[in-house]
């Protein structure tokens, strides 16, 4: 029997975006936060950098806007960029009021601001090298202190629930079917408003810096419910992730290359000089493409990052964390090179929203990495992502508050029907398809693309979707099956978007179309069941 729960607002996802939205809703509003694992399992907790904001008196909104537009390779929406940047200072002030302990300057009482790639001014406020953890832990404490907020860990949303009201051509979202790991049952969560804050989809690739839960759930659910998605072909890759079966998400800081580490093949031969005059100090996307090229050309599993030519004292003093982490896996970086691969890092596209986080479905919002706001364009600029989470989390909450009193209560929805499914005794099918999907996405739809590779991927994804749909129809849902289904849907969106872009721009690099088109256009995919009246984003890929 399906249990039904009712709240004013249902938030799916427990990262910075979702928690920010929850904390900006009034205490008389009943809120449920759904988290797949523990509340701190998402990407926010692991964010090392900081938050970009106009905080220095010598900095300006115009400079931050200009830097972001430049990094986005012509695809940023200036109105969205300006909205985000103009709200950066209030967003940081709110975090400070919540208790986030940002690092202060040694020589003054001011907050220390650093500078990162793409920024022309020091504007990155941070908490040492673990800003995400500092922000997330503070927001978690604040959420647990609120009596109106119910937090449900170990719960996975399966699909959104929608209904059409009499006399209205549009559908509205009224909740979601949610699978509980503890009970192995599916419950119905109904709400006047639903906020998707499920993070990105980098787990669709074989190598990723993201936690295991980043399987594009919100993007897939919104797409199946009738929402448009945009710019899914743009996925940011970090050049150097530790290649070891037990070290799935450990990034090797770019400071290693800044201090003289060399990228080499297994025989010790350097290769970066062939790709860029700055060699190992080339921009991140250039380095990632070069490593990918050598791996594909030679059929390698990885390349190596070598700083062993520096003295052990130098390495230990400059990179104690990296040295200690690698030593856990038997790699002494003072004596031997480190095996590395590029890793999928950030999803720049997502569910199409406006500056309030509103999607094409009434009362459904998407915020954070799940959404496409137009901020990032074709390449995300460092430290703008956490800022986007806070700014749009606040914006979505404000819009929900303005509408909540006028939203009709959800109508009755049928129970989750398991009468015609059975328990699967062939879980190997799920694990095999999971592995196959991530491998062909890495090989065919990764850092460097061609038409033939995309065609192969498109052929495989259609077969895989058919197989997964048949499995989903015959067997009871599980954590792995839910995520596999979502990954498969998101993979298809990435493939379709990549096939539509006949140029190389930002994070999308095609050997068949190496040049830029004269006009920058978004790639917007429209589902067959699209029911929106208003177009939120006017530009589309022709």
Active site residues: 284
Burial of 47 by CB count in 10 Å (0-12 exposed, 13-18 middle, 19+ buried)? buried
Distance of CA 282 to the CA centre of its chain: 25
φ, ψ for residue 114, nearest 5 deg: -115, 175
Buried b (16+ CB within 10 A) or exposed e, 364-380: bbbbbbbbbbbbbbbbb
Residue pair 508/447 in contact (Cβ under 8 Å)? The answer is no
Q: What is the DSSP string of 25-51?
A: S-TTS-EEEE-SSSTT-SSGGG--S-E
* Spatial separation of the C-alpha atoms in residues 465 and 330, rounded to whole Å: 40
Going through 84-143 in order, the beta strands assigned E by DSSP cover: 113-114, 124-125
Find, among 24, 117, 96, the residue nearest to 88 by Cα.
Answer: 96
Coarse DSSP helix, strand, coil percentages of the chain, rounded to the nearest 5 percent: 35, 20, 45
- Report which DSSP code applies to 145: T
Place of tokens 């498109």: 458
* Spatial separation of the C-alpha atoms in residues 367 and 388, rounded to whole Å: 8
Report how far apart, in Å, the C-alpha atoms of 363 and of each of 28, 29, 109, 477 are: 19, 15, 44, 27
3-state SS of 337-352 is CEEEEEEEEEECCEEE
Tokens (6 digits) for 346: 């950030």
Buried b (16+ CB within 10 A) or exposed e, 475-485: bebbbebbbbb
Residue pair 219/351 in contact (Cβ under 8 Å)? The answer is yes
């Amino acid at each position: 029997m399906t249990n039904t729960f009712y709240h004013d607002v249902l938030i799916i996802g427990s990262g910075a975006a979702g928690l920010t939205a929850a904390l900006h809703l009034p205490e008389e509003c009943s809120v449920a936060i759904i988290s797949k694992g523990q509340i701190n399992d998402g990407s926010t907790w692991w964010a090392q950098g900081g938050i970009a904001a106009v905080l220095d008196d010598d900095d300006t909104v115009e400079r931050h806007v200009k830097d972001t537009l430049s990094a986005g390779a012509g695809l940023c929406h200036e109105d969205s960029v300006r909205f985000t940047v103009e709200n950066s200072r209030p967003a940081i002030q709110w975090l400070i009021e919540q208790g986030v302990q940002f690092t202060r300057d040694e020589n003054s009482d001011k907050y220390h601001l650093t500078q990162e790639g793409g920024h022309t001014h020091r504007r990155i406020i941070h908490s040492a090298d673990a800003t995400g953890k500092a922000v997330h832990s503070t927001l978690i404490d604040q959420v647990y202190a609120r009596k109106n907020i119910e937090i449900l860990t170990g719960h996975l949303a399966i699909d959104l629930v929608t209904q059409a009201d009499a006399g209205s051509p549009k559908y509205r979202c009224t909740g979601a079917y949610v699978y509980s790991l503890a009970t192995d049952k599916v419950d119905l969560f109904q709400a006047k408003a639903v906020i998707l804050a499920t993070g990105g989809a980098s787990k669709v690739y074989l190598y990723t810096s993201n936690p295991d839960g980043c399987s594009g759930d919100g993007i897939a659910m919104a797409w199946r419910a009738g929402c448009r998605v945009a710019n899914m072909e743009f996925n940011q890759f970090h050049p150097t992730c530790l290649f070891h079966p037990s070290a799935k998400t450990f990034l090797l800081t770019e400071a290693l290359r800044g201090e003289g580490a060399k990228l080499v093949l297994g025989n010790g031969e350097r290769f970066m000089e062939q790709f860029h005059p700055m060699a190992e100090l080339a921009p991140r996307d250039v380095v990632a493409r070069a490593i990918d090229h050598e791996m594909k050309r030679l059929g390698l599993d990885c390349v190596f990052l070598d700083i062993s030519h520096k003295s052990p004292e130098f390495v230990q003093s400059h990179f104690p964390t990296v040295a200690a982490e690698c030593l856990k896996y038997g790699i002494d970086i003072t004596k031997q090179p480190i095996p590395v691969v590029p890793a999928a890092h950030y999803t720049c596209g997502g569910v199409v929203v406006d500056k309030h986080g509103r999607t094409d479905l009434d009362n459904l919002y998407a915020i954070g990495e799940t959404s496409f706001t137009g901020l990032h364009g074709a390449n995300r600029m460092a430290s703008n992502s956490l800022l986007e989470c806070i700014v749009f989390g606040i914006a979505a909450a404000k819009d929900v508050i303005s509408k909540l009193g006028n939203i009709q209560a959800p109508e009755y929805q049928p129970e989750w029907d398991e009468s015609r499914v059975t328990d699967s005794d062939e879980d190997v099918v799920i694990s095999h398809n999971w592995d196959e999907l991530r491998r062909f996405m890495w090989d065919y739809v990764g850092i460097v693309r061609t038409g033939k590779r995309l065609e192969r991927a498109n052929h495989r994804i259609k077969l895989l979707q058919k197989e997964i749909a048949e499995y989903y129809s015959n067997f009871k849902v599980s954590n792995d099956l839910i995520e596999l289904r979502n990954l498969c849907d998101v993979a298809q969106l990435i493939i379709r978007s990549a096939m539509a872009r006949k140029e190389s721009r930002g994070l999308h690099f095609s050997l068949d179309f190496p040049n830029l088109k004269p006009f920058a256009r978004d790639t917007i995919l429209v589902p067959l069941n699209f029911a929106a009246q208003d177009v939120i984003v006017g530009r589309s890929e022709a």
